[in-house]
Structure formats: structure tokens, C-alpha cells
Amino acid sequence: MMCRFHSHLPVILMRLRPLSRFSTLILALGVSAQQPAPKTVPPTPTAIPAATPPMGWNSWDSYGLSITEEEFNATVDILHQQMQPYGWNYAVIDEGWYLDNPNSDGKPAWQYVIDASGRYMPSEARFPSAADSAGFKKLADQLHSRDLNFGIHIIRGIPKQAVARDLPIADSSFHAADAADTTDTCAWNTDNYGIRDNAAGQAYYDSVFKLYAGWGLDFVKVDCIAHPYDTHEIHMIRQAIEKSGRPIVLSLSPGPTPFEDASDVAANAQLWRISDDFWDHWDVWPDASFSQSLKGQFARVAQWQPYAGAGHWPDPDMLPLGYLGPRPGFRAARMSGLTNDEQQTVITLWSMARAPLIMGGNLTRLDARLLNLLTNPEVISIDQHSTGNRSLPAHDSDTVLWEAKPAAGGGTFVALFNLADAPRTLHYTWTDLGIALQSKDRLRDLWKLKSKKIKKADDGITVTLNPHASALYRVGGKGFEERSIWHYFY
């Protein structure tokens, strides 16, 4: 997210307890009857944090600095009831949870909550469950009881208030002044000083992540650290997480992370931003050029694709879809400026690239169209389990092609994108796509959830796409409609 200074449709899931994993039926009212929901699968502990791209929700695009516990819990209810059965299982509170007066815009001055060891604590005025120094433990426990994962956002470094009071660093002989680099502050958030590359600095980060691990934290988004690339603080945070004994997913922000640091970031973080903030616009916003356009993401996603894999995922940012409000992190509350076609394009590109899927729009204001977009199990399966994901050469600069291979069943996934500002008919032969057809192969449209036999006369894929629209197919293999959906979630 960018700095504060830059400037329901309810769906009731009716689940019957299964006699076997293949006998469960989940009816999602309001969701296409062609799109059955898989059984909720609890997060599985693994030696590799983020073994698949994380899926969940982050508060910034809807609430900016100011989300309350009541608002967060209402969101978690929707996440649990309507989206978790499809794999969406992270809930992340973004910047400002330690502010008592997040809506003051710094005037009057921000009122920070820190403990006696110089670590930020949740505002009890906004998060009543944090009372009596409980921090976020009670909130995290509530999420874990529903098999959900809990995350928070922090700015790298140490609070200036802790340094001014030279507070002791927990479990060490050091004090805040020993750890602080007072010459280093974030360019767009001046709450903290940077951390020195010394024993005191490591002790401070160790104390912070020991606290977070005690809360039961599963995900941390560390901001103002990937661009410019802050090597020593990234390494210190990774070490502190390892010492904490809890497999916390580390996400670095904002971007663009320098490509020359690709190997280092892949070795030290599970997610890293490949662009600055991605907001709800196709092309450049002249009055907010920092914000990454959807059109601009295609080249970045393709560039970073070789570094995507289990435990390390290039991150093109959250999904600014649906209602961005009531208090978004940038500009006034609004419906997403992306068209319906563009919103489908976002999900298609992110899924073909196996990017993290972190919804930013307000879940309590979901409509049936967007819910269907977010809960298409065949598309989600590409994001979570496909292989060989890559862009392909296209006939012209207004077209982007991607391919990937299913994790099971054979065949090929093909995505076509129209980058032009006018409708276009695209045609690519099987040779263009590098596909050798087998007898009785079928072509399945994964967004329409319809299949057809490929005829001898069909020499490839022909599709007419609206401006900025996309199409997504599975060519050949054993189609989803021919086997149990459960196979793709186990």
C-alpha cells in the first residue's frame, strides 16, 4: 500500500457432513449451478510457508488506516462463509492498527500505542479484544478456530517514540537507541527510524516477532522495505521469524522490487511486490502516476515468472475489485474503476502467473457476479496447482498469451488477452500455441464453464474479445466436468 500521506449479497453455504470425501455436497445459493463448491480444507502445516500462493483479504483497499474490530469480524464472517471453501483463508489487517485516531490524517497528531519494550500494540479503542495487553491473540485465536489465517501489516524499523524514550528491548541488554538508525526514515511514512545492522537491531526484531508469534500470527506484510531494497533489514526479519519458531509468511512491500535482487528476495521472503500499488485503473493515472495500471502489470508479471515457486511468489498486489470503501487507502469510496471485463482479466492474469490472490474490495458488499469471479474452482486450481506457467509470443503488441499445464489430467491451459481499446477477434492455431491435439480432445471455456468437442476443421482458437478482456481455456486432457471436483483440492 502507498502511504497515508499520498494523500452482499449474502450467500448461504449449506454443508452436509460427508460420508466420504467424494459424497459431500455444498450448495452455494447465488452461485452458478455449474460451479460446485469444494469442501473447506483447513490450512495444512508445512515446512514451506506459502507452499502455494496465499489467498485471502486485506483491509487497505476498503478501510485504509481505520478498520475496527467490528468491521474486521464482519468481513471474516463473509470470508469464512462464502470464500473459504474455495481456498481463501487469510485475513490481514493493514497499516494503522496501532493508532487511536486513524481518521485524524495526522492533525491532530497521531496517537500511537506502544508497549514498554517499544513495540506497536493494537488500539484498544478500535480492537476491544486487545485489552489487558492481549494484543491480537484473541482475534487470531478466533480466526484459527475457523481454520483461517491471521495477518498484520507493519512498517520496517522501530517507533520514533520508543527511541525518544530509549525504551529497553525485551529479552536483551539493549535499548531502542542502540538499534535505531536515526538517519534512516521511510520516504512516505515517518513513524519509524530504520534499524541498524547490529546485535541491538537484531534483538529488536527478535523481540517483535517473538511477540507476534505469541499472538499466533500467520502472515506479516512489511512495508517500505522492497523499494528501495533494504537487504539487511529483510535478512534480519527473516532471521527473527525463524527464531520465533512460528512459520509466519513474510510479504515485502511496496515495489517494484529491483529485479537484480530477485535471487535474494526469493531466498528470504515468501511474497514480494513487483510493482508499486495497483489500483482500479487500466492505464496510467496522470495525477497519481505512482499507482500501477493493470495494462502495465502484464510485462512485470511475465518478467518475474521464473522466480515463482513453492515458498516464493512475485506479488502484483491486491485485487481492487468491487466496492472500495467506506474508507479506502487512496481516494474516495467508490465502486472499482475496472470494468467487468477488466476485473476478469485481473483474475485470469494473476491465476495464470500463480500470483497471490488477496482481495482488497469490501467483502460485505459482494454481488453475485463478483463472487462467481472469485470462486470459480477451475480458475483457482490454475493459480494454486498448475505448472509450466509462462507467456507466449503473440502476433502483435495488443495481444498477450499465456500457457500453463494442469497438475493432473493432462492438457494445456491457454489465456488470451486483448490489450487494445477496441474489440478484436483473435485467432491462434494449435501450432502457434505449441499444442499437439489428441483424438477426442475437448476445448473447455473455464469462465463460461462449458466444453465442446474439437472438430477436425478447428485449426486453433478463435475468439472475439471486448477491449481489455480475456478468455481462458483448457485444451485437451481430462476435463473438470468429467471427474469429481474434489480431486483438484486434495
**Lowest mean pLDDT across 155-164, 427-436, 465-474, 478-487:** 478-487
| Strands across the sheet containing 442-445 | 387-392, 399-405, 412-418, 470-475, 442-445, 450-453
Residue 105 — pLDDT band, cuts 50, 70, 90?
confident
Instruction: Indicate the pairing of strand 90-93 with strand 55-58.
Output: parallel
Q: Which of 68-82, 169-183, 231-245, 470-484 has the lowest average pLDDT?
A: 470-484
Distances in whole angstroms, Cα of residue 444 to Cα of each of 20, 378, 414, 454 = 28, 10, 10, 10
Alpha-helical segments (H) within 7-96? 60-63, 69-78
1: pLDDT strictly greater than 60:
no
Q: How confident is the model at residue 457 (pLDDT cuts 50, 70, 90)?
A: confident
In this predicted structure, the answer to whether residue 292 has a pLDDT above a threshold of 60 is: yes
User: Cell numbers of 22, please?
Assistant: 467424494
The domains found in the chain, sorted by start residue, are 39-385 (3.20.20.70), 391-489 (2.60.40.1180)
pLDDT at residue 197 in the model: 98
Residue 289 CB neighbour total at 10 angstroms? 10
Place 485 in a pLDDT band, splitting at 50, 70 and 90.
Answer: very low
pTM, rounded to two decimals? 0.90
Please say if the pLDDT value at position 355 is more than 70: yes
Specify the pLDDT at position 130: 97
Give the residue-averaged pLDDT of 147-157. Answer: 98
What CA–CA distance (Å, rounded) separates 152 from 95?
A: 8
**Contact predicate 320/297, CB 8 Å:** no
pLDDT at 22 over 90: no
d(CA 415, CA 435): 13
- Cα 41 versus chain centre, distance: 19
Ramachandran area for residue 322 (φ above 0: left; ψ -120 to 50: alpha; else beta) = left
Amino acid code (one letter) for 405? K
pLDDT at 106: 86
Looking at residue 488, its pLDDT comes to: 41
pLDDT digits (tens, 9 = 90+) for 298-312: 999 999 999 999 999
The mean per-residue pLDDT over the stretch 326-352 comes to 98
What's residue 348's pLDDT?
A: 98
Whether residue 30 is predicted with pLDDT greater than 50 in this model: the reply is no
**In the predicted model, what is the mean pLDDT of the chain?**
90
- Tens of pLDDT, residues 41-60: 444 444 689 999 999 999 99
With residue 380 as reference, give the H or E element that holds it.
helix 377-385
**CB under 8 Å to 43, separation ≥6 — which residues?**
89, 147, 148, 149, 218
Cell of 400: 498477450
- Summarised one tens digit per residue, pLDDT across range 402-435 is 999 999 999 999 999 999 999 999 999 999 999 9
What is the arithmetic mean of pLDDT over 258-276?
Answer: 98
Rg (alpha carbons) of the chain, rounded to whole number: 23
Residue 27: its pLDDT value, please?
29
User: What is the rounded distance in angstroms from the CA atom of residue 357 to the CA atom of residue 318?
Assistant: 7
Q: Is the pLDDT of residue 232 over 80?
A: yes
